[in-house]
């Protein structure tokens, strides 16, 4: 089966065409600057990448260019669009309505729209992507896969905030969690590796990238996660502050003589390791600067590792133990020294990292010693493949 996986942002659209039997990517690409001017970067597997500057006034135009590229005689990978069997859409927020992926119907579209309030930058763009695909591929089944769905199994004591209960009832103010597709994919793989798919299990998944979150997974279900009502919560990130005392928001607004919105923009876009270091949000730049003696870059890296250790420790506590830990995403898969730094905090669990085994980037590996009490793994995430699998399973 050929599955077209779509991840639509406000001015961008990422896609992959995946063969569900071999699980191989047939082509992938990115439309950027939709609504501004437009650029399509299309990479058919085994052929050269094609970059086209084309006017993309809206997402429908972008999808139309992608479909043209996919079936083009030179850079294409299929003869006809009818070869595409299904479309899987990444949707950021499913609120409390969606605990699983669903086949998209008019009712589903309405329910996604009702979650717009919770993800005003992302859900409307996701819906636009669905509408554009429906217009151009009217008879092809489509599936919505939600970033929040995996975390809907969290117990009440984990997802409620200590605010008047009415705000949860009326406005659905609660922890939702994100990166669910990745946490689900990596935790399934980890349970498969340690042979505990059908047994009682306690694992912790560290999705560490530009956006980062850690999830506690008990018996295959998310029981707590570090992101909250929005993806601003939890760990220190590339440009996001992670958890801070909420009183800082009002305090800074007064000091800077700006609005609460402005402070939230600072916390989302100018904080995190970039804000601390003044160097970059990219961990490669930070490590280089730190090695060259930049103190603030060192502080940023120390803070990142410390917060990761804090969350891992709290999840060991709430699950009363842990069988295995996995690192994934850009930093988790590639940053050898950061994995080591985080695990150095975990000696109390009897965790011991093997420096030779930890010397890996971007590939699946066990990085703990034979006698480590808890095994630690690197497991590359693949959200697009996870979306393709969910799509096939549903149709």
As a whole number of angstroms, the distance between CA 341 and CA 356 comes to 15
CA distances to 166, 193, 307 from 196, in Å: 40, 8, 28
Q: Tell me, yes or no, if 257 is annotated catalytic.
A: no
List 126, 187, 335, 368, residue binding ligand AMP (CB under 6 A): 335
Of the candidates 224, 198, 226, 189, the residue with the CA atom closest to the CA atom of residue 326: 189
Nearer to ligand AMP (CB atom), residue 218 or residue 339:
339
As a whole number of angstroms, the distance between CA 374 and CA 387 comes to 30
Nearer to ligand AMP (CB atom), residue 38 or residue 209:
209
As a whole number of angstroms, the distance between CA 306 and CA 318 comes to 19
Nearer to ligand AMP (CB atom), residue 126 or residue 334:
334
Tell me how far, at minimum, the Cβ of 208 lies from ligand AMP, in Å: 8
SS3 60: helix
- The site that binds ligand AMP (CB under 6 A) totals a number of residues, namely 11
As a whole number of angstroms, the distance between CA 326 and CA 364 comes to 10
- The H or E element that residue 41 is part of is strand 39-44
CA distances to 87, 102, 137, 337, 339 from 369, in Å: 42, 41, 51, 16, 14
Beta carbons within 8 Å of 80's beta carbon, 6+ residues apart:
71
Q: Which of 147, 224, 233, 323 is catalytic?
A: 147
Tell me how far, at minimum, the Cβ of 181 lies from ligand AMP, in Å: 13
Tell me how far, at minimum, the Cβ of 362 lies from ligand AMP, in Å: 7
Nearer to ligand AMP (CB atom), residue 47 or residue 284:
284
Tell me how far, at minimum, the Cβ of 179 lies from ligand AMP, in Å: 10
As a whole number of angstroms, the distance between CA 130 and CA 217 comes to 31
Nearer to ligand AMP (CB atom), residue 95 or residue 330:
330
Tell me how far, at minimum, the Cβ of 193 lies from ligand AMP, in Å: 21
Q: By rule CB under 6 A, what string of x and - marks binding of each residue 195-224 to ligand AMP?
A: --------------xx--------------
What does the radius of gyration of the chain's CA atoms come to, in whole angstroms?
A: 21
Q: At what angle do helices 123-136 and 106-114 cross, to 10 degrees?
A: 160
32-91 positions binding ligand AMP, by CB under 6 A: none
Q: By rule CB under 6 A, what string of x and - marks binding of each residue 235-274 to ligand AMP?
A: ----------------------------------------
Nearer to ligand AMP (CB atom), residue 94 or residue 209:
209
1-30 positions binding ligand AMP, by CB under 6 A: none
Of the candidates 138, 93, 134, the residue with the CA atom closest to the CA atom of residue 112: 93
Tell me how far, at minimum, the Cβ of 331 lies from ligand AMP, in Å: 5
Of the candidates 57, 7, 59, 1, the residue with the CA atom closest to the CA atom of residue 28: 7
As a whole number of angstroms, the distance between CA 213 and CA 228 comes to 10
Residue nearest to ligand AMP (CB): 330
- Residue owning tokens 């160097």: 279
Q: By rule CB under 6 A, what string of x and - marks binding of each residue 82-101 to ligand AMP?
A: --------------------
353-372 positions binding ligand AMP, by CB under 6 A: 361
Q: At what angle do helices 123-136 and 59-70 cross, to 10 degrees?
A: 50
Q: What is the largest CA-CA distance in the chain?
A: 61
Nearer to ligand AMP (CB atom), residue 175 or residue 179:
179
Tell me how far, at minimum, the Cβ of 74 lies from ligand AMP, in Å: 30
271-330 positions binding ligand AMP, by CB under 6 A: 282-284, 329-330
Residue 345's CB is within 10 A of a number of other CB atoms, namely: 16
Nearer to ligand AMP (CB atom), residue 110 or residue 361:
361
List 236, 331, 366, 394, residue binding ligand AMP (CB under 6 A): 331
As a whole number of angstroms, the distance between CA 382 and CA 249 comes to 35
Tell me how far, at minimum, the Cβ of 275 lies from ligand AMP, in Å: 14
Length of the chain: 395
Residues that bind ligand AMP (CB under 6 A): 209-210, 282-284, 329-331, 334-335, 361
Catalytic amino acids? Answer: 147
């Amino acid at each position: 089966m050929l599955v077209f996986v779509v991840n639509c942002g406000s001015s961008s659209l990422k896609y992959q065409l995946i063969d569900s039997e071999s699980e191989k990517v047939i082509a992938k690409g990115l439309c950027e600057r939709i609504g501004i001017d437009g650029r399509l970067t299309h990479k058919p597997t085994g052929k050269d990448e094609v970059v086209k500057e084309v006017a993309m006034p809206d997402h429908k135009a972008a999808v139309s260019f992608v479909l043209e590229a996919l079936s083009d005689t030179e850079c294409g990978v299929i003869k006809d669009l009818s070869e595409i069997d299904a479309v899987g859409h990444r949707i950021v927020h499913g609120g409390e309505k969606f605990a699983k992926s669903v086949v998209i119907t008019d009712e589903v579209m309405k329910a996604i729209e009702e979650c717009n309030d919770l993800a005003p930058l992302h859900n409307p763009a996701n819906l636009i992507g669905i509408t554009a695909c429906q217009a151009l591929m009217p008879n092809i089944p489509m599936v919505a896969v939600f970033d929040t769905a995996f975390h809907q199994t969290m117990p009440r004591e984990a997802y409620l905030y200590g605010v008047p209960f009415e705000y949860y009832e009326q406005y659905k103010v609660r922890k939702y969690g994100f990166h669910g597709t990745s946490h689900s994919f990596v935790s399934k793989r980890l349970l498969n590796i340690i042979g505990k798919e059908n047994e009682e299990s306690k694992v912790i998944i560290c999705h560490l990238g530009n956006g980062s979150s850690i999830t506690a997974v008990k018996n295959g279900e998310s029981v707590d996660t570090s992101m909250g009502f929005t993806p601003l919560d939890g760990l220190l990130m590339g440009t996001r502050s992670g958890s801070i005392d909420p009183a800082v928001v009002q305090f800074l607004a007064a000091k800077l003589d700006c609005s609460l919105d402005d402070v939230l923009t600072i916390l989302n876009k100018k904080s995190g390791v970039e804000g601390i270091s003044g160097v970059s949000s990219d961990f490669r730049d930070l490590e280089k600067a730190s090695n060259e003696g930049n103190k603030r870059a060192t502080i940023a890296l120390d803070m990142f590792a410390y917060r990761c250790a804090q969350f891992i420790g709290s999840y060991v506590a709430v699950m009363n133990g842990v069988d295995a830990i996995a690192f994934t995403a850009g930093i988790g898969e590639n940053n050898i020294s950061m994995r080591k730094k985080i695990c150095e905090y975990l000696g109390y669990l009897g965790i011991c990292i093997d420096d030779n085994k930890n010397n890996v980037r971007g590939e699946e590996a066990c990085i703990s010693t034979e006698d480590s009490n808890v095994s630690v793994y690197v497991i590359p995430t693949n959200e697009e493949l996870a979306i393709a699998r969910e799509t096939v399973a549903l149709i």
